[in-house]
Amino acid sequence: MASTINADTSDGLKLTSDTSGVVDIQSAGTTKMTVGSTIDVQGNELVLDADADTSIHADTDDQIDFKIGGTDRLTISSTGKVTSTQTGGASNFEI
């Protein structure tokens, strides 16, 4: 269980609490982020700038994508393959 912060259009902001030390942040009853000993953003984006076009996200299972200027520019797959996408093509490199 977790303490919950939930916002929706019918009931507005709802808070429930427990003693687990975990906090779920929800929108319309769907968990969007869990904060405990780690932070789980539930596959959503971690937005890094004011106009929301630069972020880190993992909406594909076992893959991390880095979006810059609204375009995925760097991908790290579960195999360790790193792909950099540039305007006009893609370049693969290993570290």
Residue 71 covered by a domain? yes
Predicted confidence (pLDDT) per residue in 38-82, tens digit: 878 887 889 999 898 999 999 889 999 999 999 988 999 999 988
How many angstroms separate the CA atoms of 48 and 51, rounded?
9
pTM equals: 0.62
Give the model's confidence band at 90: pLDDT under 50 very low, under 70 low, under 90 confident, else very high. Answer: low
Q: Which pLDDT score, from 0 to 100, does residue 5 have?
A: 87
How many angstroms separate the CA atoms of 64 and 69, rounded?
17
Structural domains counted in the chain: 2
Residue 24 covered by a domain? yes
Residue 62 covered by a domain? yes
Beta strands in the chain (DSSP E): 3-8, 12-16, 23-27, 30-35, 39-40, 46-47, 55-57, 63-68, 71-77, 82-86, 89-93
Residue 91 covered by a domain? no
Residue 93 covered by a domain? no
Claim to verify: residue 51 and residue 79 sit in the same structural domain = yes
List residues bridging with 40 in a β-sheet.
34
**For residue 53, what are the domain limits?**
46-86
Predicted confidence (pLDDT) per residue in 23-46, tens digit: 888 888 888 888 888 878 887 889
Q: Nearest 5°: CA angle at 43, between 56 and 25?
A: 105
